[in-house]
Structure 1
Amino acid sequence: MDAVALINGQGSDERAWQGCDWLWQQPETGLHALCADAARIVVVAPHPDDEVLACGGLLSLAAADGLQSWVVAVTDGEACYPDEAWWTPHRLRDARRHELATAVSALGIGAERITHLGIADGGVAQREAALQRWLRRHLHKDDLVLAPWRFDGHPDHEAAGRAAWHAARAVGCARLEYPVWAWHWMDPAYAHIAWERPRLLDISAGRGAKQRAIAEFRTQTGDVEQLQSPPILPAHVLARFHRNHEVYLA
């Protein structure tokens, strides 16, 4: 099954995920244990919004605890609406950079903690080796790298995840993976086969900040003028990121 097929349609209903007892009965991991004494959290995000959808709660809690975070925006997500006359790639690039800055601000992170690499949206796999080299030059041994699950079902996510995994391994820093589109295409009944050791983080204290940050991505939720296409993040997708827990994969 190709990536487009994986992320089309309604996907797995959030009620089915809430009924996945195996997942939610996993022991919780506290923020300090999850971050493993890291001096800095580095979030590798293939598109602006992935870092907030998957890790917004953790980033908010970390900011409140005084832990420094750095967001690496691999692409600008400018190809999300290819058939739009008004929302051209150029306009989307500017809008999504602004949305990301305001979103991380809602989490307590300054816009100066964002690095935009400007790789073409949809073209991360073609630049995977270069991305890996760039990360190896900029990561530190005491970083915790958060990157997409390498089997997330979107080619940009998987390529960014692979590059981050190999770079973190080469540098010797801690790493965790986060799912985004896997919540859509995966059958909750088989999550125990795909995810051997999921780590649950209670983000109740940071959930409000995360929701405010998600709301900043108006181009993705459809809360903008002159958008004719269905939004990338409709209500049934956003429901998967309204939880009191985030899931990370070791």
Structure 2
Amino acid sequence: MSPRGAPIQGDGTGESDWLASPRLRAVPVTNLAQLIGDARRLVVVAPHPDDEVLGCGGLIALAVEAGMEVRVVALSDGEAAYPDDPHWTGQRLAPARRAELIDACRALGVSPAKIVHAGLPDGRLRAHLDKAAQLLAGLVQAGDAVLVTWARDGHPDHEAAADATLRACAQVGARCIQYPVWAWHWGDPRQPAFLEGAAARLPLPQAAWDAKQRALACFATQTGHCTPAPAQPILPAHVLVRFGRDFELFLP
């Protein structure tokens, strides 16, 4: 696992190593009802637009299919993804990523009216932790199931988002469930840190998997399928393959 707040570098752990991991294969299987219990509503918190689909796009699709209300909260617009790219400045990237998130949520069955764009600074969520926790405490209700990136995910914004969400859930009496994103990049398949405690694997039926892949394709600025393409897209093929599995992992 990376040091807390370390930048994402290199290709990370290969997908073939994860798929060969006995520890990962041994994770207990769950289903939607078991995972979220008697929650009346699902709230998904993402540090940046795309994290919600990467980590739990299949779960979102399943919840929508089950008739649950789903809200998505993007704490930042992900505007600092390409600080050295002369075209994809923050001013241009922020509205592009907001639009991508709207399209991705539609692909999962979530109405744009159910999306909250918090607009906190990308890359600096830790400095705005109190504001994020206050915002979430005003959005989350007792009895909600709230999903957020893992508190040790190896990305500073992901970890700050988890800390803010855990604080808000404790304040209002909601249940928090975490999902890894960049932990797959940093993790050691022989001793995955996110499998030290309870973990559950949610199989994705074909329809939910298809919806997730359609949603991921909406993030053209991150996959590099945009014009002009970033020199080093955030989600190249070797990263996306980790989210093309037929299951998702959760830390209840």
User: Which TM-score tier does this pair reach, normalised by the shorter chain?
Assistant: over 0.9
**Aligned residue-pair number:** 250
Quick one: distance in 2 between partners of 1:63 and 1:46?
22
Question: Which runs of 5 or more structure 1 residues have no equivalent in the other structure?
Answer: none
SS in 1 for 2:44: strand
> TM-score normalized by structure 1?
0.96
Number of the residue aligned with 1:212: 214
Quick one: distance in 1 between partners of 2:232 and 2:220?
13
In structure 2, do the counterparts of structure 1 residues 6 and 186 end up closer, same or farther at CA, with 3 Å as the change threshold?
Answer: farther
In structure 2, do the counterparts of structure 1 residues 192 and 155 end up closer, same or farther at CA, with 3 Å as the change threshold?
Answer: closer
Percent same amino acid among aligned pairs? 46
Matches within 5 A, 1:70-219: 70-191=71-192, 194-205=195-206, 206-219=208-221
Quick one: distance in 2 between partners of 1:28 and 1:228?
38
In structure 2, do the counterparts of structure 1 residues 135 and 192 end up closer, same or farther at CA, with 3 Å as the change threshold?
Answer: closer
Q: Decide whether the 8 Å contact of 1:87 with 1:227 is kept in 2.
A: no
Deviation digits for residues 170-210 of structure 1, max 9, x if unmatched?
Answer: 21111100100000011111116753111111112300000
> TM-score normalized by structure 2?
0.95
In structure 2, do the counterparts of structure 1 residues 94 and 195 end up closer, same or farther at CA, with 3 Å as the change threshold?
Answer: same
- Is the deviation greater in 130-139 or in 140-149? 130-139
Quick one: distance in 1 between partners of 2:69 and 2:194?
34
Give how far 1:228 is off. 4.0
**Correspondence 1:30 to 2:37:** no
SS in 2 for 1:70: strand
- Is the deviation greater in 153-162 or in 20-29? 20-29
Give how far 1:43 is off. 0.6
Give how far 1:25 is off. 2.0
**Correspondence 1:237 to 2:239:** yes
SS in 1 for 2:178: strand
Question: Which runs of 5 or more structure 2 residues have no equivalent in the other structure?
Answer: none
- Is the deviation greater in 108-117 or in 198-207? 198-207
Number of the residue aligned with 1:55: 56
Deviation digits for residues 135-179 of structure 1, max 9, x if unmatched?
Answer: 122211110010111110111000000110111112111110010
